[in-house]
Structure 1
Amino acid sequence: MKPALSLDQQVDLMTGRGLEVVDREMATRTLFNSSYYRLSGYARQFQVSPRSATGQTFEPGTTFETVVAAHDHDEQLSALLLDALCVIERSLRARFAYHLAHQHGNQAFYLDPASYLAVTPHLSSFLDKLEGELSRARRPTVARYAVADDYSAVPVWVALEVFSFGSMSKILEYLVDDRAARAVAASYSVPWGGFTSTVHSLAVLRNTCAHHGQLWHRRLDVQTPVQRKTRRHEPAFDSQGPYAAVIAIKRFLLAIDPADQRAARVRDFFESGSPFVSGFLSPAPR
């Protein structure tokens, strides 16, 4: 068991590994607000051999301020993407509900196993999850249609405002009748091929940003497909990193509102000339 260290001991641990700390008071304050464990995810990129028990010394000249700067750039991008993803999520919910309502009416077809493809992963558990999300919502809009634990009368336009982004993306991906999903893709002028995978990846990224997960020098668990012709207009990037999702985010934002400045702010971040940008374009976790 590792003992809990005081803030001063945490600073001593880092300086003992060769990290330069100019302002010790600032360092302890930062550790108190961000935690040693969180910052270590950024610090390891500056260590000689972080995977080795004996190689966690820092590269010469690395300062605490440099580690914090990497962390702050990550937070800045995460905030920009979360702001953008909230707009995209809201739009996806509205457009998907609109098309589903016009094609399926007001019954809870989304709780019927027959509505889903046979390849839907863990379908029974997923349907239980949907009912659980409806029961936990405690919204008057849900209660108006529910009878005890029976949610079969909750219209899809109500349910999609309650379900998590991840649940919505799974419904979009695995419904047998894909007419609504195709209509949503067309409404954004996005090719159908790869559309559901893109929405899934954006849902995962949204959760990562919302929970302050690290993006810098991290590969995403669910990648966003990018067409070859699209790459020609973008900087070189690793498809497993977050930039593939950034491309999709910019495209969705401009399709929703060409005057929206969020896409421009994301673009400006990557054109800032910051030395940390490469860690988002071509992550190389150490």
Structure 2
Amino acid sequence: MVGLSRIYGCMQPYTKPFLPVDDQLTQLQARGLVVTEPDRAKNYLRHIGYYRLSGYWYPLRQSEAVVDTSGNASTRVLDAFRPGSEFSHIIDLYVFDKKLRVMMVDVLERIEVSLRTNVTLQLGKIDPWAHRDPANFDTRFTTQQKERPPKTGLRPSQFDEFIRLTDEKTTRSKEDFVQHFGTKYSDPLPIWVAPEVWDFGNLSILINGMRYRDQRDLAAVYGVPRPEIFPSWVRTLAFIRNICAHHSRLWNRSLTAQPRPPKAGEVPLLDHLAGAAARHSIERFYSAVALARYFQLQINPTSAWGARFVELTQSFPTNPNLDLATAGFPNDWQNLPLWT
């Protein structure tokens, strides 16, 4: 436990006891949550889990303003629920979020496949193994970095880590094409084969490490005039894809991998993400779905995905304590040029 305390910076031991399902429900009711169908609620707690559902009831909890000893004001979220909060509200939001993940997986698959193909076209003209040659990448990507104190050595470069991770994926792969290649050729997988083994995260790392001119040409395929912002957009979408793959909460997610916003006029369809006023949208889920919509329009402008997404949001659970604005959706967003 001492080692974990050093890693996570714990200030106190964890003392919360294990609670059986019946006790979980009793605790929720004691905190003010209305449960009209106890047996059904217990079934959800048993098969979805208290902790997973807690992310969906978090916005239903009461809060209070506090001021610390230095005079800094903040908000403290309490255990008690807001009046009128029901267990059914939580499940409705959970089901909506599940549909949202399915919708995002659909569009992200199209984007990932397109990016794989265009990375192949960009690097393949250099060499079949251009992705394995550090000369083809930015020096910041290929240079070893000093380890953090107290260590004094060097860490592997991002390029070295990329090669290690993708080689491990190739070695573990059971795909027929990988097995066939390994029995016939002595060389590594060429660039037009290797990305089929990578995940979206591997792809985003490679794009981030590409030389400026290659990033510029790749970004131009998707109508992005400034390549400096392009890798961060891909990284944001890979982050969302990872959330979906792990069945985690999506709708009100705070983005760890935030995209660099475009400048006003740079990408007209995304002008509503430019400037300080859009900070909340950039930090929350909306910026990711806006980028996904933008990529989708470049890849297949006749797709009905955008209309289906707007239709899905119309089923957002009705509740006085919940709205799409908390996920960064601007006012009247569905009537913006991006979505019409």
Q: TM-score range by the shorter chain?
A: 0.7 to 0.9
The answer on 1:252 being equivalent to 2:295 is yes
The amino acid that maps onto 1:254 is L
Q: Distance in 2 between matches of 1:151 and 1:41?
A: 49
Question: Is 1:74–1:215's contact at 8 Å kept on the other side of the alignment?
Answer: yes
Q: Does residue 110 of the first structure (1) align with residue 143 of the second (2)?
A: no
Q: Aligned equivalents of 1:153 and 1:252: distance in 2?
A: 31
Q: Following the alignment from structure 1 to structure 2, what is the Cα–Cα distance between the partners of residues 134 and 240? A: 34
State the partner residue of 1:95: 118
**CA 1:151–1:195: 2 relative to 1, 3 Å:** farther
Shift, 1:78, TM fit:
1.7
Any conservation in 2 of the 1:111–1:130 contact (CA below 8 Å)? no
* Contact 1:116 1:174 survives alignment (8 Å): yes
Matches within 5 A, 1:198-277: 198-227=233-262, 228-229=264-265, 230-232=270-272, 238-270=281-313, 275-277=322-324
CA pair 232-200 structure 1, distance change in 2 beyond 3 A: closer
Q: Give the aligned partner of residue 55 of structure 2.
A: 41
Counterpart residue number, 2:219: 185
Structure 1 residues not aligned, in runs of 5+: none
Tell me which structure has the larger Cα radius of gyration: 2
What one-letter code is carried by the residue in structure 2 that aligns with 1:209?
C
Contact residue 232 and residue 259 of structure 2 kept, 8 A: yes
TM-score, normalised with respect to structure 2: 0.73
Structure 2: distance between partners of 1:219 and 1:176 = 30
1:5 equivalent among 16, 19, 26: 19
Alignment check: 8 A CA contact 1:70 1:276 kept: no
Q: Residue 136 in 1 paired to residue 179 in 2?
A: no
- Distance (Å, rounded) in 2 between the aligned partners of 1:183 and 1:226: 19
Name the structure 2 match of 1:281: 328
In the alignment, is residue 19 of structure 1 matched against residue 33 of structure 2? yes
Shift in Å, 1:221 = 0.5
The 3-state SS of whatever aligns with 2:139 is coil
CA change 1:11–1:271 in 2 (3 A) is: closer
The reply to whether residue 170 of structure 1 matches residue 205 of structure 2 is: yes
Higher relative strand content: 2
Deviations 1:86-120 (A, max 9, x none): 1111111122212322x2232x2322333332212
Give me the identity figure in percent.
Answer: 29
**Partner SS, residue 104 of structure 1:** coil
How far apart, CA to CA, are the structure 1 residues paired with 2:186 and 2:310?
Answer: 43
Q: Distance in 1 between matches of 2:105 and 2:271?
A: 23
Tell me the equivalent position of 2:68.
none
SS in 2 for 1:56: strand
Kindly indicate whether the alpha-carbon contact (under 8 Å) linking 2:123 and 2:130 is maintained by their aligned counterparts in 1. Answer: no
Aligned length: 278
Q: Shift of the alpha carbon at 1:81? A: 1.0
> Structure 1 residues 255 and 145, CA, compared in 2 at 3 Å: closer, same or farther?
same
Kept in 2: contact 1:243–1:280 (CA 8 A): yes
Deviations 1:124-153 (A, max 9, x none): 2222112111111233323444479x9744
Aligned to 1:75: 98
Cα distance in 1 for residues equivalent to 2:99 and 2:326: 14
Are 1:20 and 1:64, in contact at CA under 8 Å, matched by a contact in 2?
Answer: yes
| 5+ residue gaps, structure 2 | 1-14, 65-74, 142-156, 331-340
Give the Cα–Cα distance (whole angstroms) in 1 for the partners of residues 92 and 225 of structure 2.
38
Distance 1:241 1:58 in 2: 24
CA distance in 1, matches of 2:182, 2:135: 21
